[in-house]
Amino acid sequence: MGTDVDGGVAGVLRAGSRALADLVLPRSCAGCARPGDVLCPACRRRLTRPRLAEPRRHPPGFPPTVAAGAYAGPVRPAVLAFKEHGRAELAGPLGTALALAVCVVLAGAAGPAGAPVLLVPVPSSPAAIRQRGRDHVRELADRAVVELRDAGLDARTAPVLGRLRGRAGRTRDSAGLDAAARRANLSGRFQARPAGHGAWAGVPAGSRLVLVDDVVTSGATLTEGARALAGPGDTPCRDTPVLAAVVAATPRRVHRPFAPPPPGAFTVRGRGGEGADRASTVGTGARRLASG
Ligand SMILES: [Zn+2]
Q: What is the DSSP string of 23-59?
A: HHSPPB-TTT--BSSSS-HHHHHTTS--EE---TT--
Q: Rounded to 5 degrees, what angle do the CA atoms 197, 184, 178 make?
A: 125
> How many angstroms is it from 273 CA to the middle of ligand 1?
36
Polymer length of the chain: 292
> Distances in Å between the alpha carbon of 289 and those of 59, 68, 97, 106, 231?
31, 11, 7, 19, 36
Q: What is the pLDDT of residue 49?
A: 93
Compute the distance between CA of residue 41 and CA of residue 285 in angstroms, rounded to an integer: 13
Question: Could you tell me the residue range of the domain that residue 23 belongs to?
Answer: 2-291
> How many angstroms is it from 250 CA to the middle of ligand 1?
19
> How many angstroms is it from 212 CA to the middle of ligand 1?
24
> Distances in Å between the alpha carbon of 279 and those of 14, 92, 143?
40, 21, 19
> How many angstroms is it from 254 CA to the middle of ligand 1?
25
Judged on CB neighbours under 10 Å (0-12, 13-18, 19+), 80 is: middle
Q: What is the pLDDT of residue 289?
A: 57
Counted domains in the chain? 1
> How many angstroms is it from 100 CA to the middle of ligand 1?
19
> Distances in Å between the alpha carbon of 73 and those of 24, 36, 137?
28, 19, 21
8 Å CB contact between 247 and 101 = yes
pTM, to two decimals? 0.76
> How many angstroms is it from 181 CA to the middle of ligand 1?
34
8 Å CB contact between 151 and 241 = no
> Distances in Å between the alpha carbon of 206 and those of 63, 100, 122, 156, 239?
17, 22, 20, 14, 8
Compute the distance between CA of residue 243 and CA of residue 49 in angstroms, rounded to an integer: 18
Judged on CB neighbours under 10 Å (0-12, 13-18, 19+), 77 is: middle
> How many angstroms is it from 87 CA to the middle of ligand 1?
14
Q: What is the pLDDT of residue 65?
A: 96
Judged on CB neighbours under 10 Å (0-12, 13-18, 19+), 92 is: middle
Q: Tens-digit pLDDT profile for the chain (292 aa)? A: 344 445 566 666 666 666 666 565 668 999 999 999 999 999 999 999 999 999 988 899 999 999 999 999 999 999 999 999 999 999 999 999 999 999 999 998 877 778 899 999 999 989 999 999 999 999 999 999 999 999 999 999 999 998 886 544 445 555 555 565 555 555 568 988 877 777 788 788 788 999 999 999 999 999 999 999 887 677 777 777 899 999 999 987 655 555 544 333 322 222 233 333 444 445 555 555 555 4
Nearest Cα neighbor of 58 from 220, 251, 175 is 220
> How many angstroms is it from 24 CA to the middle of ligand 1?
20
Q: Where are the alpha helices (DSSP H) in 25-178?
A: 41-45, 75-84, 91-108, 126-132, 136-150
**Kind plus residue range of the DSSP H or E element containing 161:** strand 161-163
> How many angstroms is it from 93 CA to the middle of ligand 1?
12
Measured between alpha carbons, how far apart are the two ends of the chain, in Å?
44
8 Å CB contact between 192 and 236 = no
> How many angstroms is it from 103 CA to the middle of ligand 1?
24
